[in-house]
Amino acid sequence: MKKNSFSYTYLLGFLLVVLTGSAFATPVFNIEIRNHLFYPAELTIPVDTKVKLLINNTDTSAEEFESYELNREKVIPGKSTGVVFIGPLKKGVYPFFGEFFPKTAQGSIHVD
């Protein structure tokens, strides 16, 4: 039953992805974490579009990409790349930060 409920959601999600037809059209944006800073710190993405963020952590220590506004939270181990999907979003500024180094790792997504 446990397995089933999971694979069911999985299947449902997959179908939705396929049906919306956005699986291959998703634009990709790169963000790099270096010395506990985000590059770029300000990223502009299109309005009402789902985008795929590739977050490359070049530090040796882990970082957690977190945004309350975007509802995202993902641990990115040191020297690795994490994938986070965001959107579709309305126009506005959505701040994000690195939860492990919040004083320096600050950034925002600008939706235009």
Which residues bind to another protein, rule: CB under 8 A?
1-2, 5-6, 9-10, 12-14, 16-17, 20, 26, 34-39, 41, 50, 52, 54, 60-64, 68-69, 71-88, 90, 99-104, 106
Tokens standing for residue 65: 């990409």
Sheet holding 28-34, edge to edge: 37-39, 28-34, 51-57, 80-86
Instruction: Output 5 or 112, the one with its CB closest to another protein.
Output: 5
Q: How many degrees, rounded to 5, is the angle at CA 82 between CA 25 and CA 20?
A: 25
In the complex, minimum distance from the CB of residue 110 to another protein, in angstroms, rounded to a whole number: 15
